[in-house]
A = this chain, B = another copy of it.
């Protein structure tokens, strides 16, 4: 039997797509990768995923798993060869169960993140993973890429929220590793190996996730800081005074907010003189008055100490949402302005002021007029340190001429300051060469050994990560 016939037998002929417009599966959402699949297969169950992988393994055909296709590094679309099977998990979108006393939820890989947040919220519970793509990204992809987002400061990355996994191996076996356990020291932690492996070791088909009680009150504030040193000092104060109540600490540089003002002039500019604007979020199990009082005490203390120059506390939920909207508008304003060079880097928080000082100067020297759109999750040491062409310069020409040199300068500086060139977006196809060049040979040898041991035919998402 041909592979396509086997796939049709496994999943139903209507779920093996080979004709028509398949760009929703073959092109990534930033439209930087234009692939061509041998077929798009949409299995509806774990058994169908396993049968799909077994058939592909028998025919030595590569499998590219895909969730919501919202990745930023070309890890979830097929290459242009027309030889790879695109395995979409979108039909596997059942919530298998919710255990309120255990604070856990089990869901299939194709569940959209926001739909799971809503399922939890309907029980008064919080699924604490939140990112810009949450309306279309899928939980399987979130785990396969170890997604980050805005709640990492309090709750950790996607891996920190995962209690167990169900995975189809490269042989088409099913590892039934779903679990609601907080503690399980029975052998090597396979869960953490699959999380963040970007589909190169197997296909995540379902996961058990941690939940938490919904906070009784959440408040937001903006603070103006004169320098990143002051922003880091504010972070230390906020952590000491709010503890786990500090659930967000985002930083926005002036150029980033200038870009928002330029492209979305209707949005208010609340602290127009700020060199650095910090968005703080405080969540509490007590009521809103107590939460706001703690917040105001923190900010008054920081003003007095001089690490904050001005501050605004949201007076309502609508105001809180408006402050977050400002932060979320930065990538949209960047997109309006044209293609740019995105850097998703992380550093020890203590190293960020010196890194930015050094790297800003070096970029300005080598690429005169360049705009440094710097914002991100300062509480996690994660900056989206993006480089936009000089005003008026055609973005595509700028990228064609300078993207490689800009990356080299930035990633060299990141390495010199003890940081990572991929904090939350992963490696995919985009940063595979960087990984090979920048990761230690000892680490790479171990990764390649693991890949060869688990996927000796190299059929799982080949050409990504390693």
Contacts and interface: CB of A to CB of B under 8 A. Distances in A.
Contacts of A244: 154, 243-245
Contacts of A350: 99-102, 180
A189 B190 contact: no
A188 B181 contact: no
A292 to B, nearest CB: 14
Interface in A214-268: 215, 232, 235-236, 239-245
Given A148-B183, A182-B152, A190 B446 contact: yes
A213 B187 contact: no
Interface in A85-104: 99-104
Given A99-B350, A346-B182, A169 B420 contact: no
A242 B285 contact: yes
A411 to B, nearest CB: 11
Contacts of A382: 182-183
Contacts of A232: 101
Given A190-B443, A195-B189, A454-B446, A419 B160 contact: no
A409 interface: no
A100 B350 CA distance: 8
B185 A427 contact: yes
A189 B196 contact: yes
Interface stretch (A171-179, A273-281, A314-322): A171-179
A452 interface: yes
A356 interface: no
Contacts of A284: 243
B236 A100 contact: yes
Contact of A160 (B154, B160, B181, B286): B160
A301 to B, nearest CB: 13
**Which 9 A-B residue pairings sit nearest by Cβ, starting from the closest?**
A244-B244, A192-B192, A101-B350, A453-B453, A449-B453, A180-B348, A183-B423, A243-B285, A184-B420
14 contacts: A99-B350, A152-B183, A175-B440, A183-B382, A184-B346, A184-B420, A186-B431, A186-B438, A187-B427, A187-B465, A213-B243, A243-B244, A243-B284, A450-B453
Given A175-B443, A182-B382, 5 more contacts: A100-B350, A177-B440, A177-B443, A183-B423, A286-B294
